[in-house]
Amino acid sequence: MNDGLKPALARCLDAVRTELPLEELPDSLAEIERIKALAWARLQAPVLAPSDQLLDVNEAARRLGISKTRLYRHQRQYPFTRHDGRRVLFSALGIDAYIQQKGPPALSLLSTIKRRTG
């Protein structure tokens, strides 16, 4: 936190606690809750690399070579999954890194089938 901001915030909150007239407390508490909600939203926002894009399930599934259903069903297993409220999005850079590391899941499945069938 900015060196001057933290002490200023502490003084402000102390003033709300000790000096603010009682009739102004509800509005002040509402403002504090609003700031708190914005801060939580900021903490939960996806962190993107400067050139990263968030992809919808259609594009992410296409890049991975899997169905949308499979991607939704197994989204928690993929490190490139991001949540924006109820929306599920996928990091393009994360998908690229995943494919480079593990190979596309569809190709892995194909190689497994070939190994088992001879």
Q: What is the pLDDT of residue 37?
A: 84
Distance between CA 117 and CA 55 in Å, rounded? 36
Q: What is the pLDDT of residue 115?
A: 63
Please state which of the ranges 49-58, 67-76, 82-91 shows the lowest mean pLDDT. 49-58
4-9's contacts with Cβ under 8 Å and 24+ in sequence apart are none
Q: What is the pLDDT of residue 93?
A: 92
Across 51-71, average pLDDT? 93
Across 6-29, average pLDDT? 87
Element (H, E) at 14: helix 5-18
- pTM, rounded to two decimals: 0.48
In 20-104, alpha helices (H): 25-44, 57-64, 68-73, 92-102
